[in-house]
Amino acid sequence: QVELQESGPGLVKPSETLSLTCTVSGGAISSYYWNWIRQPPGKGLEWIGNIYYTGSTNYNPSLKSRVTISVDTSKHQFSLKLSSVTAADTAVYYCTRTLGMEDYFDYWGQGALVTVSS
């Protein structure tokens, strides 16, 4: 059974960089696309971007200037960095899997709440 687990600081100061890591267990990291999705408290879902195990990425244009997604296949991990954060970036961040580049999300992590506050 594939499991995804987010990890990283739960509190980030404004203007700093949010960093999260997703660890994949129970399945291969190759041959899949790995995504980040966020959900502000009480609001809907926003796709941030994805990465193939080869390192090829796709980003949401609304966040592209601030987002970097990377993968470390040897550690079965992929990561998210979001720079210059503001309170509007406070959200639960989910890591997810898709089989194809443009596809549905079949596995989700439990989510990590990141609060942006001084």
Partner 1 sequence: DIQMTQSPSTLSASVGDRVTITCRASQSISTWLAWYQQKPGKAPKLLIYKASSLESGVPSRFSGSGSGTEFTLTISSLQPDDFATYYCQQYNSFPFTFGQGTKLEIK
Binding interface with partner 1 (CB under 8 A): 44-47, 58, 60-62, 94, 98, 102-106, 108-111
State the nearest-atom distance from the C-beta of 105 to partner 1, in Å.
6
Closest CB to partner 1 among residues 63, 73: 63
Closest CB to partner 1 among residues 79, 109: 109
State the nearest-atom distance from the C-beta of 101 to partner 1, in Å.
9
Q: Which long-range contacts (CB under 8 A, 24 or more apart) does 55-58 make?
A: 58/101
State the nearest-atom distance from the C-beta of 28 to partner 1, in Å.
19
Sorted by sequence, the CB contacts under 8 Å of residue 45 that are 6+ apart come out as 37, 38, 39
Closest CB to partner 1 among residues 11, 113: 113
3-state SS class at 70: strand
Torsion of Cα atoms, 24 then 34 then 101 then 113, to 10°: 140
